[in-house]
Amino acid sequence: MSTDRLIYLPLGGAGEIGMNAYVYGYGAPGKERLILVDLGVTFSDMDTSPGVDLIFPDIGWLAERRDRLEAIFITHAHEDHVGALAHLYDRLGPVPVHARAFTAHLARARMAEQGQPEKAVITASPWPETIEAGPFKVGFVPISHSIPESSGLVIDTPAGRVVHSGDFKMDTGPVVGEAFDEALWASLAEPGVLALTCDSTNVFSPHEGRSESGLGPAIEGLIAGAGGMFVATTFASNVARVKTLAEAAQRSGRTICLMGRAMRRMIEAAVETGVLTDFPGTVPPEEVRDIPRENLMLIVTGSQGERRAASAQLAQGKYNGIELKPGDTFLFSSKTIPGNERSVIRIINQMSEKGVDVIDDDTGRYHVSGHANRPDLQRLHRLVRPRVVVPMHGEHRHLREHVKLAGEDGCKGVLAPNGTMVAITRAGAQVAEYVETGRVYLDGRMQVGALDGVMRDRIRMALNGHVLVNVIIDEDDEPLGEPWCEVHGLAEEGASRAPLVDVMEADLGQFMRRAGDATLTDDDKLEQGLRKVARQTAVSEIGKRPEVTVIISRLTAG
């Protein structure tokens, strides 16, 4: 009997919403041929990763086994699925990257930007066509989501079939792109399905998901009732929503202008690849000023309050020469992603100060989610009828709840957060191994490990402030002049009502005068002593324990 096995190993995306990267393997243990599904990013925040540009999954495990990697498959063009590809490709390639036309178009542009080979990205045709990759036969199965040409994957292996849902919702009227095709998805179950690897994002949302096509009339009503300029924001990549907004504007007789580079790029890509047709005519930003406000509709980037995006710029002042005025309306046709609340609320309040009426997604009338809700997940379980449900694309709480939900449907569910290698057989799924995973930060142009200490240093400086102590020791191991310091991020004056720097320098001077040879000749001792004095002074003067850097310059005879 063959010892070959089918394995599944999430390197990212199972334990967070973001940076998706799922490995499948087939072969003898330790010698499996591998494919990677998706390679996305997640975003930094001040609490854990200040100054970081992007966050990638740690693909160390896969990079060490790149000789066994047959292909990469990208399910759709969202950043959390494709955003790391161009940045990490040189650690995995050369290897073919398969994606459908719209996704491939955007992926190629990213590859070119990063100096990676565009031609590695191969345009895939949808199911029933399949792509061979070692022992795998993979097909892209259209499914509705909030970006065009999203796909689930059929992954056929000698051990049987795995269905990878990708990000999805069950929308039969998605406005742009393919509708959810129940018969097609049911047909995938025919040969029997070993495992369904399944989106878990909305497992806590109890009601059936709503269709994109239901939003148009509500948005049109809103525009019809608005007096001044009408501005709407949504995710740049939500091409269907941009179309819904634009069509509502058109029906209201307003001239449409798209603002924000990301949105213009997305719409262009959708038009070029034939995904988007019949998009209403737009005017470029420079023509907007000539149009009466009440005839205008701007569709802009920045639904998450991002500082540099069009929304935030409009909230603060001008963008492309256009300014918000009292009587204008601003619609968030989007959901605020947890963690972005403060940024979004900030711009809402700035707009309120300008007298703009802001409508957010609280009511759910002007936004629908791109992910399947709890009853939709159940429906997919029942259509695909897998032996095992493997929840992915969720935080730990989502995966755990999805396992429970699978149980309710009489399926086995397996909880496999990042790093959990699962062996999938006809008998079920067993944890085979735990693999080290984590995060890598793109900081400027460098990739920095999350545990390298770089972030720890930054966070400490931000929380505690920083003191620099400088002393010079002469050729005879005697202090030359007085120690002096410089402080950053600390109160200027403390309890003594004298500059903190002065008090600190006096205390350090005293320490130096009292220091014996044993200290003055030993850099480590001297540094420790000076650091301790600087900290003590800061604690007694201002009640803070700052980071302290000590610089000892020794003059040498010669």
Write phi, then psi, for 302 (nearest 5 degrees). Answer: 100, 30
Q: In terms of CB distance, is 50 or 126 closer to a second copy?
A: 50
Question: Residue 533 CB, nearest distance to a second copy (Å)?
Answer: 17
Beta strands per DSSP E along 248-345: 255-259, 296-300, 318-319, 322-323, 329-332
CA pair distance 24, 32, nearest whole angstrom: 9
Q: In terms of CB distance, is 151 or 420 closer to a second copy?
A: 420
Cβ burial 29-53 (10 Å sphere, 16+ → b, else e): eeebbbbbbbbbbbbbeeeebeebe
Give the tokens for residue 343: 């940024």
Question: Residue 130 CB, nearest distance to a second copy (Å)?
Answer: 37
Q: In terms of CB distance, is 171 or 547 closer to a second copy?
A: 547
Which amino acid appears at position 471 of this protein? V
Question: Residue 543 CB, nearest distance to a second copy (Å)?
Answer: 3
Q: In terms of CB distance, is 406 or 490 closer to a second copy?
A: 490
Q: In terms of CB distance, is 283 or 435 closer to a second copy?
A: 435
Q: In terms of CB distance, is 272 or 502 closer to a second copy?
A: 502
Q: Are strands 69-73 and 121-123 parallel, antiparallel or unpaired?
A: unpaired
Q: Which residues contact 543 (CB under 8 A, 6 or more apart)?
A: none
- DSSP annotation of 118 reads G
Q: Which residue's structure tokens are 């120690």?
A: 483
Beta bridge partners of 318: 323
Cβ burial 66-101 (10 Å sphere, 16+ → b, else e): eebbbbbbbbbbbbbbbbbbbbbbeebbebbbbbbb
Does residue 470 contact residue 483 with C-beta atoms inside 8 Å? yes
Question: Residue 323 CB, nearest distance to a second copy (Å)?
Answer: 18
Q: Which residues contact 150 (CB under 8 A, 6 or more apart)?
A: 75, 76, 142, 143, 144, 166, 167, 168, 177
Beta strands per DSSP E along 58-192: 69-73, 97-99, 121-123, 131-133, 136-142, 151-157, 160-164
Q: In terms of CB distance, is 243 or 354 closer to a second copy?
A: 354
Q: In terms of CB distance, is 505 or 547 closer to a second copy?
A: 547
Cβ burial 341-351 (10 Å sphere, 16+ → b, else e): eebbeebbebb
Question: Residue 240 CB, nearest distance to a second copy (Å)?
Answer: 27
CA pair distance 534, 547, nearest whole angstrom: 9
Does residue 74 contact residue 103 with C-beta atoms inside 8 Å? yes
Write phi, then psi, for 274 (nearest 5 degrees). Answer: 80, 5
Which amino acid appears at position 47 of this protein? D
Secondary structure (3-state) at 350: helix
Secondary structure (3-state) at 537: helix
Question: Residue 289 CB, nearest distance to a second copy (Å)?
Answer: 27
Question: Residue 132 CB, nearest distance to a second copy (Å)?
Answer: 38
Question: Residue 550 CB, nearest distance to a second copy (Å)?
Answer: 9
Q: In terms of CB distance, is 236 or 469 closer to a second copy?
A: 469
List contacts with a second copy (CB under 8 A).
15, 45-47, 50-51, 204, 338-339, 341-342, 345, 348-349, 352-353, 358, 362, 395-397, 400, 417, 443-446, 448, 452, 454-455, 457-459, 461-466, 468, 470, 472, 480-481, 486, 488-495, 538-539, 542-544, 547, 549, 551, 553, 555-556
Q: In terms of CB distance, is 125 or 553 closer to a second copy?
A: 553
Q: In terms of CB distance, is 150 or 437 closer to a second copy?
A: 437
Question: Residue 425 CB, nearest distance to a second copy (Å)?
Answer: 25
Question: Residue 499 CB, nearest distance to a second copy (Å)?
Answer: 13
Secondary structure (3-state) at 536: helix
Q: In terms of CB distance, is 125 or 349 closer to a second copy?
A: 349
Contacts 24+ apart (CB under 8 A), 115-120: 116/86, 116/89, 116/90, 117/93, 120/89, 120/93, 120/94, 120/95, 120/96
Q: Identify the CA nearest to 473 among candidates 484, 464, 481, 485.
A: 481
Question: Residue 553 CB, nearest distance to a second copy (Å)?
Answer: 6
Question: Residue 481 CB, nearest distance to a second copy (Å)?
Answer: 8
Question: Residue 491 CB, nearest distance to a second copy (Å)?
Answer: 4
What's the distance, Cα to Cα, between the start and end of the chain in Å?
Answer: 77
CA pair distance 270, 106, nearest whole angstrom: 10
Q: In terms of CB distance, is 182 or 208 closer to a second copy?
A: 208
Q: In terms of CB distance, is 189 or 415 closer to a second copy?
A: 415
Question: Residue 154 CB, nearest distance to a second copy (Å)?
Answer: 30
